[in-house]
Every structure is written in structure tokens, then in C-alpha cells.
Structure 1
């Protein structure tokens, strides 16, 4: 475990557990954003020219991910702060920055939709490095910055002078890459996938956010949206709809890839040179 005593508690841990419990009760890992993350993560994993034996899944219990790893011969452990998810799937209840596993316990860690709501993100990445075997692989996916800009805009318009947070702050590509390097992970790569979505109802849009635990879990007082504000949001939603009554929204999913240090790994390219692609990083021959 890392020393989190001096780390600001930006997110309320109790509220985070409740939100993630509700997300599992709502979707049980079948939400479409999780399924997109699973498909992309597995595509990246299939590029890797090596085998893995012990995998840790942290975060959203995306349906199909554990089975996919097991069909590849891996023993899989699931961990999350949601008691409901852990009870249903088996595993360990814990926060990402308080992982209770011994050093070098896994050769693969997959974090699903969870790193963006961690109080001590550098510490969480450092823990991943510690519990990975040398040359072990970390893959992660989560909803990143620049997501849901249209919804955020109409909420701000509807609230007027009293604007409050309803979706937690998110992480961008550059910040994620810097944090991986800071944690001592090697060959870090961060890339993103931009999705354009169309919604016919505000309820469906909000449901998709809640299904991945996207509600406000920040420390401090919660400011609920009143009826009058909600009516204005619905009106703005309808007025922004395009032909066919569809409201256009965008979501950016950030994907991370990095390795635990190993002396036989290739040296990283100079920062900003842009000469190494994600596929090249993943497909390098293993020395194990």
C-alpha cells in the first residue's frame, strides 16, 4: 500500500462505493461503454506476442472480460470498491489506490473505467507497478476529459448563476502519460477513441453515465438538480436536437498501456518524437 495520508481526498470513498454498487445493480457489466472498452482492450492484448498466466481486473465488471482472459489460460482475480460486484463475481473489495496484493502477484493488470475516480492516482499506478512481475503489462480504459460536452453545456445554461459539479473531473491524454512515467512504468502509451453518440431522450443519456459510475462523487456537499432546473435542461435538450429528434453527444475513452520495468526492455524514444506506435510497443518480442 502507498502512504495516502497526505493525499487530498478529492473523491468521497463512501459515496464512490455507493455509486459503483448502484452502477452494478443497474447494468451488471452489460452497459455499452464497458463493452466498447472490453473490445478495444482485447484487441490490444491480442497484439502482445507473449502469454500471461495471472491477471487482475480492477474496476467495472464488464461482461465477457473475465471469460475472455480465462479462455487464454489465465487465472483471474477481480477487485473493486463495489461490494455488490465483488459479491456477485467473487474477488476483493478495495480501492484502486489501496490494493492489498503482494509484490509481483500478477503479470497482467486490466483497469476498467476506474482510474478517473481515484484519490491517489499516482499511488494507484505505483501500486500496479509494484504488484506486477518485471515486464508485466498494465492496460486501462476509462471515460476521459472532453466527454459529454453538450450535456455539461446545457446543465450550465439551465443552472444559470448557480453552477455546480454533477459529473466528476476527468483526465486527459497528456496527464495520463505523465502520471504513468512518474509512477516508474516503462514504455507508457496513452491514446483515445472519440465516439459520436445520438440520443432521443435525456433519460437514456443520463442512464449511460450512471451505468459506468459517472455520478458526482466529489468530497463536499452535493447540490441536487431541482425540478425547475431539470425542466430547463429537458427543454434545452429538445431544442438542441437535430433532424429526427436526436441529441448529439461525444464521449472520449482513454486507453493506457505501460509495462513494469525490466532490464531487457527497449529504451523509450525521446519524448515528443512520435516514432513508436501503440502496436509497436505492444508487439515487441518478450524476453520471458
Structure 2
């Protein structure tokens, strides 16, 4: 089946007016590039998606853009490990917000036979790494997946969905494009991400300017995440969290790396600029509150990992409440019996 056969019907209100300018020839061997568009964000949306696209495109064009991919590579590897725990082969998979292929580089043909990669930044797709898996790259906004329902056996997404304006809708879109029995495996930044930077900037602004503005984008709470996946009709949902701490020479190096990752703030209510004195004060506060003996400062990235399945009749279902034949009170007797057997 060709790539075009998997796309939804074009609909002028849902496709970019300049669709043709995004189309590129299919690349030999590794796949091709198709194109699709995104709806215009509403005035009440928290993020400026056009600015985020510009940030990601700018980051992808930098001469040493690969050196800023260390965090995405680590999370992409962890996400792939969770996929390997599912002992089955996925004929057709989708990577939402793929960047330069941070998940794809860890996959094998034995796990995924064909992969569609979607990102809103066309420059990021030009930098995707070559893999043994046949791939097709699609320029599209993660808020609107331009694929037909019940298309993919697997959908993955790593460190992209925290920038979407309508996360419930994004989860519903992912659920719709999955086949019955398909699985979604994703990773997002959690609420404790960059708390050191957030606190330092707020204290510096309070001291120098008498108030503070948000400089770190809002993140979803893990409890809300499980609820949103359930509302999107995913079942057998699994959530777990992890923390990655990276040491930097100072606060300005953290902000430089965030810009290189394409992770600069794009909230509509962001402050347009920070005064030099405020920035210097924030760097000093950061060093004083969180600095290590060797002069470095830590930056914490909290990662939420999620797994959800689309219902299929053949799927195993949880037992009915009250159907258990053994009480939890009997567990102590079982442990005592096992201990006695070992003696």
C-alpha cells in the first residue's frame, strides 16, 4: 500500500494552503517524504505552535545540532526498551514528533517492519538518521494526524506531546489511527522538569523586578495523564516516571542547550525578554541554591512513560471485582509456607 493511501481525505479546512511546497521526492531505499498540515491554533491555546515550529527548524539547521540530542537519545532508547518487552512484530508503526529519528535508530526489523515518521519541522525530518527499517517522513502537526482510522499497529512518541495545545484531542487522534489491538507507547516531560531553573528565575525576578512571569512551559501531572488516556478510550494503561539529571557548567549553558534542542518556551504569555541584571541574578541564585562542589549545576528532567492499548475482543481483560479465590490476608501464610520449604 502506498503512503498516499494511508492519508485522510484532504479537506481544504484541514490541510495547509501551501501543501505543494512541502512535498518532496521519495528517497531511495529508506523511504520517502509526504506532506500534511495542521489546523490554526485558537486564541486561547497555551502555546504558539508556529513559533515552536520555527524554533525546531532553527535548531535542526545548526552546524552541530546533533550534540544537543543527548536527552532525546536517552529517552528514545528507554522507550524502545519498553517496546522490546512486547514480544510481537509490528508491521506498520508511526512515530509522532520524531525529530531526527531518536526512536527509530534503536528499532530493528524484527520489531517494526515499516515506519512512518511525523514532525512539524521539515528541517528535523531532513536530518533523520538512516535505519534498516523502511521509513516514510511526513511533515504534519502533531495536533492533527493526517492518517485514516485503524491504520497503524503501533504508535510511539518521545518528548513531543508536551507542546501540543489540546492533549486530550492528540490522544484521541492517536487512538483513532491505531488498529484494534494496537499499542501506544509515549514519553513526555513531567511537572518537576527544570524546577531548579524555574525557581531561580522566579526568585531573581521577584528581587530585581518585584514580580515574575512564567519562563518554563506548564507540564501535565502524572495523575491527569492517566485520566486523559482513559478518556481517549485506551485500556490497560501503564504509567511510570523517571528522572534524568544533567550537570552543566552554569545556568547559561542550560539555556543554550534548551535552545539547541528546540525546547525554548513558546507559551503565548511568555515574557518577551529578561533584563541582563535579572539573568545574572538568576545565575547566581542557581549556583548558590543548587551548585555542586565542583562548580557545576544540575538540571532535572522528569520523564513520564505511558503505554496504552486499543481495545480488541481477543485482548485479555481484568477479572471482575470480587472474583478472586484467594484473599490478600492469606499472603502471609503463603510466605510462611515458602520459608518453611526452603528450610
Contact between 2:215 and 2:270, CA under 8 Å: does it hold in 1? no
Match of 1:180 in 2: 229
Find out whether 1:9 has 2:45 as its counterpart. yes
Distance 2:284 2:68 in 1: 30
Deviations 1:222-269 (A, max 9, x none): 431121111112222332322111213322111111111111222247
Distance 1:227 1:30, change over 3 A: closer
RMSD of aligned residue pairs (Cα, Å): 2.6
Deviations 1:126-171 (A, max 9, x none): 1111111111111111221111111111100111123112121011
Query: Secondary structure of 1:187's match?
Result: strand
* Alignment equivalent of 1:22, drawn from 42, 58, 63: 58
Distance 2:42 2:245 in 1: 39
Distance 1:222 1:15, change over 3 A: farther
**Equivalenced residues, count:** 271
Distance 2:270 2:243 in 1: 32
Find out whether 1:76 has 2:112 as its counterpart. no
Distance 1:196 1:154, change over 3 A: same
Query: Secondary structure of 1:151's match?
Result: helix
Distance 1:54 1:77 in 2: 8
Query: Secondary structure of 1:71's match?
Result: coil
Distance 1:145 1:246 in 2: 23
Distance 1:80 1:210 in 2: 18
Distance 1:116 1:83 in 2: 19
Query: Secondary structure of 2:298's match?
Result: strand
* Alignment equivalent of 1:166, drawn from 206, 209, 215: 215
Distance 1:7 1:193, change over 3 A: farther
* Alignment equivalent of 2:287, drawn from 217, 220, 238: 238
Distance 1:63 1:80, change over 3 A: closer
Unaligned residue ranges in structure 2 (runs of 5+): 1-7, 9-13, 15-38, 129-135, 322-343
Distance 1:231 1:5 in 2: 35
Distance 2:46 2:177 in 1: 25
Question: Higher RCO, 1 or 2 (CA under 8 Å, sep at least 6)?
Answer: 1
Query: Secondary structure of 2:107's match?
Result: helix
Q: TM-score, normalised by structure 2?
A: 0.72
Unaligned residue ranges in structure 1 (runs of 5+): 272-288
Q: TM-score, normalised by structure 1?
A: 0.85
